[in-house]
Structure 1
């Protein structure tokens, strides 16, 4: 994440990659909270081997630098499944072989049965997702992990929108990430945040992208935390 004085090189590289890959787009998009956002991040568009592999490298670099200790990775269905597998492959390539598991949306009543697939869920478990919109997915993941007798130890996401969450139709003073950190007592490790996106918009030489800087800044001023 960007500090007050120095841009974060990894975050800047990630934002540039996301824009180039068409995963981070600009325009007018309606969010789950009903807001009109000038940008949209869709991790589902990391949709080929090269892009997914590069994304996993960013997650791995950020996690290793964080020093967070974990025994395995859990990816909530659906986007988290691909992310967990990709991160596990990249960590193994770097000499940090970690098992992973994920959940089904509906329990299977034949074969091995149940809702959890992959390695046994045990020890300190890292949850991986693309963003945290309302914290619902994180709470569901925590419930599944604890029910299996394991301990959730953190959450890693690609982008922290750094904006106020909505509770019962009203803007909260806290973001969804702050809620997870403060109420669920889990560290959240993001590759980049909205502040990093703004830094990129102000410094990139791509005029087509810098044209959106004003709208993104206005959105941050209105909804940011």
Structure 2
């Protein structure tokens, strides 16, 4: 996939997320205590058609990235649905990959343990919706490594491209940059805040376009 095709796919995804009501505009308080002019809630990909379309975006982006992986790991809870859906779509495209996920609490009967699904082995790709602080990624790395496998990357739907915050202090790096540089894992995102801004500038919907200035101001203040 060329850079232009990748950018086109990102624009398609942003448009899809807006139309699905997953990307919303207004005033939302983030985990860092910031007031964000937009909110991305992947939990609202909440029916079969939307989830299938989301999985298609993940699969196409992953295949275009060239990232090599043997299986998918979905951290509880959102990652569970994502891992299953993307595994189905990859198989449909001719790339059958096993997947696994974790429980929040260990099961003391039946098969027991915290890991469910395929045996965690080989090069393991972690899937999630966004990376807010990197906590979920670190926990996933620990579980994958404990199983004797190798974390090889992370894939997310949206890279917010904003500074991480620790104890109320803005850092000079984003959560995605932290994962890339400190945890040494490549991050493959379907779209990023820059793509959202491009969409807002070029959309023919005046009501949606009206949020462009607020999103740009937010990026100028908190962006990396």
Query: What is the aligned partner in structure 2 of residue 200 from structure 1?
Result: 199
Aligned length: 222
Deviation of the 1:6 alpha carbon = 9.5
Q: Which residue of 2 aligns with 1:39?
A: 38
Superposed CA deviations along residues 160-199 of structure 1, whole A, max 9, x for unmatched, are: 0000000222100000000000000000000000000000
| Partner SS, residue 139 of structure 1 | helix
* Corresponding residue number in structure 2 for 1:23: 22
Q: Does 1:156 pair with 2:155?
A: yes
- Alpha-carbon distance in structure 2 between the residues aligned to 1:115 and 1:50: 30
Asked whether the 8 Å contact 1:154–1:188 carries over to 2, the reply is yes
| RMSD over equivalenced CA pairs, Å | 1.2
Q: Which residue of 2 aligns with 1:53?
A: 52
- Aligned residue number for residue 101 of structure 2: 102
Q: Tell me which residue corresponds to 2:190.
A: 191
Within a 5 Å distance, the mapping from 1:124-163 to structure 2 comes to 124-163=123-162
Alpha-carbon distance in structure 1 between the residues aligned to 2:213 and 2:207: 13
Structure 1 SS opposite 2:200: helix
Structure 2 match to 1:77? 76
User: SS where residue 172 of structure 1 aligns?
Assistant: strand
Q: Distance in 2 between matches of 1:89 and 1:208?
A: 36
Counterpart for residue 174 of structure 2: 175
Q: Does the Cα contact within 8 Å between 1:129 and 1:157 map onto a contact in 2?
A: yes
Deviations 1:182-217 (A, max 9, x none): 000000000000000000000000011001000000
1:76 Cα deviation from its structure 2 partner: 0.2
Segments of 4+ moved more than 2 angstroms? none
Aligned residues of 1:7 and 1:196 also touching (Cα < 8 A) = no
Please, which runs of 5 or more residues in structure 1 have no aligned partner?
none
TM-score normalised to structure 1 length: 0.97
